Amino acid sequence: MKRRDLILGGAAVATASALPHAARAQSAYKAEYKMSTVVPPMFAWGKGGAIFGDLVRERTGGRINIKQYPGASLVQGQQDREFAAMRQGVIDVLCGAPINWAGTVRELGVFTLPFILPDHKAWDAATTDPGIMSEYFDLVRKAGAEPLAVGETGFRQISNRMRPIRGPADMKGLKIRVVGSPMYGEIMTSMGANPTFMSWADAQPALASGAVDAQENPLEVFLAAKIHTLGQKFVTKWNYSNDILLFAIANPVWNSWTPEDQKIVRGAAQDAARQQIAIVRKLFADDVAAVRALGVEVHVPSAAEMQAWRNATRGAYTKWKDATHPGLVAKIEQVAARAGS
Ligand code: X2X
């Protein structure tokens, strides 16, 4: 760099820092930052978004105002469009499950391969492993957002209106609603079920009318959405997939904030994620009893039954390991094995 540029550059910095800090920050800031969540704050993961927004508002003295739009309303309920809409500037803040973005950024689905992280010990080991998380966060950055923290959406369990599901054979012919993740579709197909891809908004009427027989969601969602009132009488707690809840900010928005504010926002997301995980785990601990109390039959598989599920979904696992990020999946497998699962 030439001496003249250095002097000019220096002068520019001096002028900028002569402005009052708040004025400088405020001028580039938007009055409202739009956060998309699929579910509302009555649900544990919508609550994570609400806590995050509140903490940011409090800690920035209102400088950064994050407003939550539940029901994926910024994308007219089409939750599989969230990530693309974030890239287009329609969504500023994500607080969601990467399974919803599988059609846009497939590699973010590494945590949701079937039975890859079978319990909380394995899940915690993987999602707090510095090597895994820095690689994962780099993928998020390249995809267009600054990742801040990771909460937990919860282990997904299958429910249906027809019969108890004790093994892969019971899946045969079942019409099951899944989110727009092709991997989930193939998991179901590999067991002889007929998956239908549908948004959460469409899923509920489809269950109520019997257009689909089955669905899969964390039991906390089953309870909060009162899915038993939609004719779902049988649940199997097979813990087949537990997505992260990713807190992230669209890159251009992130870059418009001062380093001080970036630090505050990151800290707020980490605190919100911690609180959100505690809420999800508390609900998980009591969910079988809570669902049974509604008159729904809950099957908790034996170790042998769990092995049968793993065998039946192995082909889908291998295919999606290759289709997402084989190197990162291998690291997750190693960390999960060390965690003793
Ligand atoms: O639509 C679903 O099933 C939900 C609420 O779990 C997700 O957003 C993935």
Q: What is the pLDDT of residues 272-316, one digit of tens each?
A: 999 999 999 999 999 999 999 999 999 999 999 999 999 999 999
Q: pLDDT band at 3, cuts 50/70/90?
A: very low
Rounded to an integer, what distance in angstroms lies between the CA atom of residue 67 and that of residue 90?
A: 13
- pLDDT on residue 27: 63
Summarize the confidence of residues 236-242 as an average pLDDT: 98
Q: CATH topology for 157-241+288-340? A: D-Maltodextrin-Binding Protein; domain 2 (3.40.190)
Q: Which of 217, 226, 242 to mutate to test the pocket of ligand 1 (most atoms within 8 A of CB)?
A: 217
Say if residue 138's pLDDT is above 90: yes
Among the ranges given (57-61, 100-104, 121-125, 268-272), the one the predictor scored with the smallest mean pLDDT: 100-104
pLDDT at 283: 97
Ligand 1, residue 39: give the atom nearest the CA: 5
pLDDT for the residue numbered 6 = 39
Q: Is 215 close to ligand 1, i.e. is its CB under 6 Å away? A: no
User: Mean of the pLDDT values across residues 191-206?
Assistant: 96
Taking only Cα atoms into account, the Rg of the chain, rounded to an integer number of angstroms, comes to 22
Residue of 36, 179, 198 with the most ligand 1 atoms within 8 Å of its CB, for mutation: 179
Non-local (6+) Cβ contacts of 119 within 8 A are 239, 341
- What is the C-alpha to C-alpha distance for residues 92 and 94, in angstroms, rounded to an integer? 7
pLDDT in tens, 21-30: 554 545 689 9
Burial 88-122 (b: 16+ CB within 10 A, else e): eeebbbbbbbbbbbbebbbbbbbbbbbbbbbebeb
Overall residue count recorded for the chain in this entry: 341
Q: What predicted TM-score, i.e. pTM, was given to this entire model?
A: 0.92
| Chain center to CA of 305 | 27
Q: What is the pLDDT of residue 341?
A: 56
Helix extents (H) in 70-154: 82-87, 120-127, 130-143
Do 26-152+243-285 and 157-241+288-340 share a fold? yes
Domain boundaries, the chain: 26-152+243-285, 157-241+288-340
Fold of 26-152+243-285: D-Maltodextrin-Binding Protein; domain 2 (3.40.190)
Residues 6+ apart with CB under 8 A from 302: none
State whether the beta carbon of 39 lies less than 6 angstroms from ligand 1: yes
Expressed in angstroms and rounded, the spacing between residue 3 Cα and the centre of ligand 1 is: 57
- At what angle are helices 326-338 and 314-324 packed, to 10 degrees? 120
